[in-house]
Structure 1
Amino acid sequence: MTVTAATDTPRPVLDKPLMRYGRRTLDRLAPGAEAPEYRILGVTPLTPHIGAEISGIDLAQPIGQAAAEELKQALLEWKVIFFRDQAGLDEEHHLDLAAVWGPPEVNPFFPKTGTTGVSRLAKDATAIGNENIWHSDHSFMAAPALGSVLRSIEVPSAGGDTMWADMGAAYDNLSDELKARIENLTAVHDWVPSWGSTMTEEQIAHFRASLPPVEHPVVVCHPRSGRRTLYVNEPFTTRIVGLSDTESRELLDELVLQARVPEFQVRFHWEPDSVAIWDNIATQHYAISDYYPRRRVMERIAVAGVPLS
């Protein structure tokens, strides 16, 4: 073992600490909201503030009004909800389940199983597993997807988990100074740096005609819960309006790291016939690519959203 002698060279002085110390704020509900009661569903939390397993319902059967209302309450409360052993769920039931929250929204870049808006997400044994990145679905659209419903078709025996981060908690734990700084800022969201990286110039021009860059508030008021939520993500948020390139990059680098804080996250291990439903405004997610060369096949429906404010 080599021992390096200490020197008198001073350590660099940082403008701000690399990590925050002390208790984090981990509120499950928006300020002033009361916890709902569940008479039909069983709700088992996976963390104190994000993620719960739901029991007491067969998603392949018609979902009555009372059950639909409890599902909506559970998603608002927990931001992402999970179901096990839903073997009877097919594409038609999948669409009916997503319709509890709204009409489907088609992702222009995902392969479809038909004309229904169901996207098949598959990685097979011949493909190198690609690294994922924390993101919000469709933030590059003027009205980003409100949520997504994902069901497992085929899963590896180990690996292939998905993680979600509570972006309300991410906002709550910013310093008061930083909250004040970003209060009225907007940011540009664009698909070209990510989806466009594997396209030709002609393909980019084709999609650009209907998908120009859009702007969203850096801090949004959730359209259903009213909770203040940090709304920037690594692949799609390209710059903050009104700041220099350097200021924008430095601020975005700080903000997007909030999704990586473990206390804000929940992790779900997929089994055959599992279903996850998440609030796409309240959360970001990360599909873990650790299962190569095994196969993982999922089907997803996004729920159409509204412009954010």
Structure 2
Amino acid sequence: MPILEAELLDKTPLRDTAQTFTITPWQPALGAVVKGLRYDGGAIPEETRASLKKALLDHGLLTFEPGTVTGQDFTEFLEAFGDVVLYSGPLTPAVSAKTQANVVDSTDKRVARNYIWHIDQAFRPNPPNYTALLGKIVPEFGGDTLFSNAVLAYERLDPLFAAYLETLTVVHYWDATGHMADRFLDKEEFARQRALNAPIETSIVRVHPETGRKQLFVNESYTTYIKGVSRTVSQSLLTILFEAIKSPEVQGRFHWTPGALVLWDNRTVQHRGIGDFASQSRVFHRVCIN
């Protein structure tokens, strides 16, 4: 795949008067690496925004080297991709009252769900289009993040099996794995949140609204069962689909360095952390984008 290059001539949001950045493939299954881009605030030139957006849709995920953004302008940079929305909770508080980013901190041992494959907010009718993580404190070793391409997972299925899946409806639920009760110290608030987040139904196979490509829309964190089939058939089919998502052939593994930024299409790319960093700290700032 050829390298994409863009000349940035508008010096308002950039450190240099003229700057060239490159976008190159990251892994065979998904992702691209953006190098040479430095953001210092202000509006991003339309040519730059269009190049990044196209690469994001083409590859599903973009990685940015440390120094591309700072913690202060992290959220502002991502506004180029849509409306930034704060999804915070008892374990993911807002970074500050002035930002729409929230903190994901491994020191709270109730974050076990972060290590299960998921799409952010997939229990909602309209999950965020994109998610971004900025590495604030990362382990010296371990603590990588796995990403999986649900479009490629679908395309690798037998065509007859894929056609059958398109006839099926699946149910997703906020507390499908039973982890949420452990995340709330206030039992009344847990009950209130549980009532607010009723199960939702979707098709197993979804079509991306911008690329038109089909994907599997099931994940281990929130998918509960397939409608209209027996429990045994539902569990068996979901096991096959979860394994398809976890196949090494559709994955990439990202090793964090302080200040690194990863932005992905939350509609098609699933992720999970790897909890192999012992007592080291692992702290991210997260932004969701509609």
TM-score by length of 2: 0.85
Q: For residues 36 and 146 of structure 1, do their structure 2 counterparts lie closer, same or farther at Cα, with a shift above 3 Å needed? A: farther
CA contact (8 A) 1:60 1:90 kept: no
Task: State the identity as a percent.
Answer: 30
Q: Aligned residue for 1:262?
A: 248
Counterpart of 1:263, as a letter, is E
> Could you tell which deviates more after superposition, 37-46 or 153-162?
37-46
Match of 1:39 in 2: 6
Report the aligned-residue RMSD: 2.3
Instruction: Give, in whole Å, the separation in 2 of the partners of 1:169 and 1:88.
Output: 30
CA offset at residue 202 of structure 1? 2.9
Trace 1:155-194 onto structure 2 (pairs within 5 A): 155-194=138-177
Does 2:101 match 1:133?
Answer: no
Higher mean C-alpha displacement, 198-207 vs 270-279: 198-207
Q: State the 1:216 CA deviation.
A: 1.7
**Larger deviation: 191-200 or 67-76?**
191-200
Aligned-pair CA distance for 1:278: 0.6
- The one-character-per-residue Cα deviations of 1:205-249 (angstroms, maximum 9, x if unpaired) are 211333211112211111221110111001100111222222211
Equivalent position SS for 1:39: strand
CA distance in 2, matches of 1:148, 1:60: 21
- Give 1:59's match in structure 2, choosing from 33, 39, 60: 39
Contact 1:129 1:289 survives alignment (8 Å): no
Residue of 52, 72, 87 corresponding to 1:71: 52
Number of equivalent positions: 269
Once the two structures are TM-superposed, the CA of residue 184 in structure 1 deviates from its matched residue by 2.6
Say if 2:25 is the partner of 1:48: no
Shift of 1:87: 6.6
Indicate conservation of the 8 Å contact 2:204/2:216, yes or no.
yes
1:177-256 matched pairs, under 5 angstroms: 177-194=160-177, 195-198=179-182, 199=184, 202-256=188-242
CA distance 1:242–1:127, shift in 2 (3 Å)? closer
What letter is aligned with 1:301? V
What is the match of residue 64 of structure 2?
Answer: 83
Runs of at least 5 residues in structure 2 that lack an aligned partner in the other structure: 8-20
Q: 2:283 aligns with which of 277, 297, 301?
A: 297
Letter in 2 for 1:89: T
Q: Is the 8 A contact 2:151 2:213 kept in 1?
A: yes
Q: CA deviation at 1:191?
A: 1.2
Q: Which ranges of structure 1 fall in alignment gaps of 5 or more residues?
A: 1-27, 29-34, 305-309
CA contact (8 A) 1:60 1:86 kept: no
Q: Distance in 2 between matches of 1:71 and 1:134?
A: 26
Q: In structure 1, how many angstroms separate the alpha carbons of the residues matched to 2:62 and 2:282?
A: 20
Cα deviation 1:156-195 (Å, max 9, x = unaligned): 1111111111111100011122111111322111111344
Match of 1:277 in 2: 263
- Does structure 2 conserve the Cα–Cα contact (< 8 Å) formed by 1:129 and 1:292? no
SS of 2:277's partner is coil
- 1:113 aligns to 2:80 (yes or no): no
* TM-score, normalised via structure 1 length: 0.80
Which secondary structure state, in structure 2, belongs to the residue aligned with residue 302 of structure 1?
Answer: strand
Distance 1:251 1:100 in 2: 39
Which of the pair has more CA radius of gyration?
1
How far residue 51 of structure 1 moved from its aligned partner, in angstroms, is: 1.5
Using the alignment, how far apart are the partners of 1:108 and 1:128 within structure 2?
15
